[in-house]
Structures are given as structure tokens and as C-alpha cells.
């Protein structure tokens, strides 16, 4: 398989992982909304049935503490552009989270909270197997005018077209 095909496959895998993470976030948000609605309903019935306001407040705080203890921590979405070129590998034997470059397969430390993503960006700048980005063509009026002039002369068209 040529390098372009491998690069395309790696990009598609990265996009698939990104979409899976977005779906997990949506499911997590739905799970968060359901217990809140149940807690609000139970809190409303408790306040109407309670004889004093002090007992209702203590029950509500106990319920929120219990739900806070059972909620899993929400995994934050990776927003840096370097994640288009890196795939998470996992935790190595030394206990560090690693990310792998999809171009040259080198592994780098991924712990974004302590290391950040600058080292990943620096790797991409010097990565020998990364395809070079093509600059966008800038429109030049004079080049366009010369091309139209050549086309008119070549095809023996009139300089003035009347309808």
C-alpha cells in the first residue's frame, strides 16, 4: 500500500475516533439530564411533605452530594489541530500517556495537562514523512488577462462580442 493510502486510512480512523468521542459526550449529557430531572421531582415532593424547611435543605444537599459522588468525570474534547495528525496510544509501562504520529509512527508523551501540545506541534514541523501542505493559489488579475488574450488569439475569436 502506498503512503497516500496509508495517510488517508489514518485520517479516516482519526475522524472516526473523533466522531465516537462526540457521540459519547452526547450520551453523557443525556445521562446527566435524567438524574437532574429525577432529583428535581424528588426534591419537590420532599419539600411539600416536609414539616420544616431545615430538613428539606439538608435532604437536598445530601441528594446532590450523593449524585456528585456517583457521576463519572466528563472527558474533555481534544480541540487542538495536532490531533488530526496524532492518535492516542494509551498508557505505557512507565505510566505516561502516549500519542502516536500517524505519519512516522513515533510515540510522544500526551499528557496535555502537564506537557501541553507544543511538543506535538514541534514534532509535526520536523516530521520527515508528513506530506507538505500546498499553498492556496492567489488570484492575479494580470495572469488572468494574459490567459484570456491568448485564448482569444488562439481560437481566432473577435475582440468584441455583441449579442
Number of domains comprising the chain: 2
- Judge if 15 and 49 occupy the same domain: yes
- Judge if 47 and 12 occupy the same domain: yes
Domain that holds residue 113: 81-126
Q: How confident is the model over 73-103, as pLDDT tens digits?
A: 667 777 888 888 889 888 888 888 888 999 9
Which stretch of 3-7, 94-98, 99-103, 153-157 has the lowest confidence by average pLDDT?
Answer: 3-7
Say how far apart CA 94 and CA 68 lie, in whole Å: 32
- Judge if 119 and 63 occupy the same domain: no
Q: How confident is the model over 104-120, as pLDDT tens digits?
A: 988 888 876 776 788 88
- Judge if 7 and 66 occupy the same domain: yes
* Domain end position, chosen among 42, 70, 98: 70
Q: Is the distance from CB of 85 to CB of 133 less than 8 angstroms?
A: no
Q: Is residue 53 part of a domain?
A: yes
- The answer to whether residue 65 scores a pLDDT higher than 60 is no
Q: Which residues pair with 100 in a beta bridge?
A: 87, 107
Say how far apart CA 116 and CA 80 lie, in whole Å: 10
Q: Which of 114, 25, 20 is nearest to 73 (CA)?
A: 25
Q: How confident is the model over 11-48, as pLDDT tens digits?
A: 888 877 777 777 766 666 565 555 544 555 454 454 44
Say how far apart CA 43 and CA 50 lie, in whole Å: 10
- Judge if 57 and 109 occupy the same domain: no
Amino acid at each position: 500500500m502506498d503512503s497516500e493510502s496509508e495517510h488517508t486510512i489514518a485520517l479516516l480512523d482519526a475522524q472516526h475516533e473523533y466522531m465516537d468521542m462526540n457521540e459519547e459526550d452526547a450520551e453523557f449529557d443525556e445521562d446527566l439530564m435524567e438524574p437532574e430531572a429525577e432529583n428535581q421531582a424528588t426534591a419537590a415532593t420532599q419539600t411539600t411533605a416536609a414539616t420544616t424547611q431545615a430538613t428539606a435543605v439538608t435532604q437536598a444537599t445530601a441528594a446532590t452530594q450523593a449524585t456528585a459522588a456517583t457521576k463519572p468525570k466528563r472527558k474533555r474534547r481534544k480541540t487542538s489541530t495536532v490531533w488530526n495528525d496524532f492518535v492516542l496510544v494509551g498508557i505505557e509501562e512507565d505510566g505516561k500517556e502516549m500519542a502516536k504520529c500517524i505519519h512516522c509512527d513515533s510515540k510522544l508523551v500526551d499528557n496535555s495537562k502537564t506537557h501541553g501540545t507544543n511538543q506535538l506541534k514541534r514534532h509535526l514541523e520536523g516530521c520527515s514523512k508528513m506530506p507538505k501542505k500546498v499553498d492556496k493559489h492567489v488570484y492575479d488579475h494580470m495572469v488572468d488577462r494574459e490567459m484570456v488574450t491568448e485564448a482569444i488569439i488562439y481560437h481566432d475569436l473577435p475582440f468584441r462580442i455583441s449579442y
